[in-house]
């Protein structure tokens, strides 16, 4: 019974805009989310939910951030080569969401008016994605690095923020970079620092943390000692 419940909750459902853009939302049983999406645009719902979207083109994914497993779904979408560049909207159910949710393009409260504005912006993003030339004959790691650059190009953005995470060994995480590049929290931070040194990105210091010289962990105990 538990397995059947998990399988049912894992299904997606689609709403199709008049423009042809499809809004895939999860969980499909979230009637409040479905109603808000319907109010945000003139849409028509498909009759049956699917296990997962079959194709990535012309799709925007909408995920209820408070639903169990939401962070995993967003990571999977960003990590999968076919959906890595697809726009994702995370609907925030409270003041606090898991840091992994910030791999989504937008994290917002459930508001039809705000949704309508964001969907309009993301339609332009989808058009830019569809116009990207194919990237053939490159390695998996090169494809991931190219997709990171393509992500920023299709969003017309040049900024990504590290998120404070007390559960992280290094104190900060960049969920978007972790999921696109398939790296750990520490490796993603080091990769972005390397890109900064190469001139691909600019960096600004928001917070300074002291890391252990041996294990690179932020979890240290400080004691007062006499300097003499």
Tens-place pLDDT, residues 69-79: 888 889 999 99
Adjacent-strand bridge partners of 62: 25, 89
pTM of the model: 0.81
Enter the tokens of residue 188: 């993603």
Residue where one domain finishes, among candidates 123, 149, 175:
149
- Looking at the fold, whether 118 and 86 belong to one and the same domain comes out as yes
**What mean pLDDT comes out for the span 81-97?**
85
Radius of gyration in angstroms for the set of CA atoms belonging to the chain, rounded to a whole number:
20
Q: Tell me what pLDDT residue 18 has.
A: 75
Question: Is 41 part of a structural domain of the chain?
Answer: yes
**What mean pLDDT comes out for the span 77-103?**
87
- Residue 108: closest CA among 33, 43, 206: 33
Q: Which domain holds residue 187?
A: 160-228
Q: Tell me what pLDDT residue 48 has.
A: 56
- What stretch of H or E contains 25? strand 22-26
């Amino acid at each position: 019974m538990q397995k059947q419940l998990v399988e049912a909750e894992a299904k997606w459902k689609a709403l199709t805009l008049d423009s042809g853009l499809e809004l895939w939302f999860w969980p499909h049983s979230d009637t409040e989310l479905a109603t808000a999406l319907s109010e945000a645009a003139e849409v028509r719902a498909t009759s049956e939910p699917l296990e997962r979207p079959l194709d990535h083109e012309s799709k925007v994914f909408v995920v209820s951030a408070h639903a169990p497993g939401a962070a995993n779904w967003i990571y999977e979408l960003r990590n999968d080569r076919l959906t890595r560049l697809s726009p994702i909207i995370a609907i925030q159910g409270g003041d606090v969401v898991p840091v992994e949710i910030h791999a989504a393009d937008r994290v917002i409260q459930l508001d039809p008016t705000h949704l309508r504005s964001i969907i309009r912006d993301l339609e332009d993003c989808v058009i830019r994605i569809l116009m990207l030339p194919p990237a053939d004959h490159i390695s998996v790691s090169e494809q991931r690095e190219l997709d990171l650059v393509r992500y920023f190009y299709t969003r017309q953005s040049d900024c990504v923020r590290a998120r404070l995470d007390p559960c992280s060994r290094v104190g900060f995480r960049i969920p978007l970079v972790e999921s696109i590049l398939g790296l750990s929290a520490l490796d993603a931070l080091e990769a972005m620092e390397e890109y900064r040194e190469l001139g691909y990105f600019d960096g600004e210091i928001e917070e300074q943390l002291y890391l252990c010289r041996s294990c690179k962990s932020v979890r240290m105990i400080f004691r007062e000692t006499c300097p003499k």
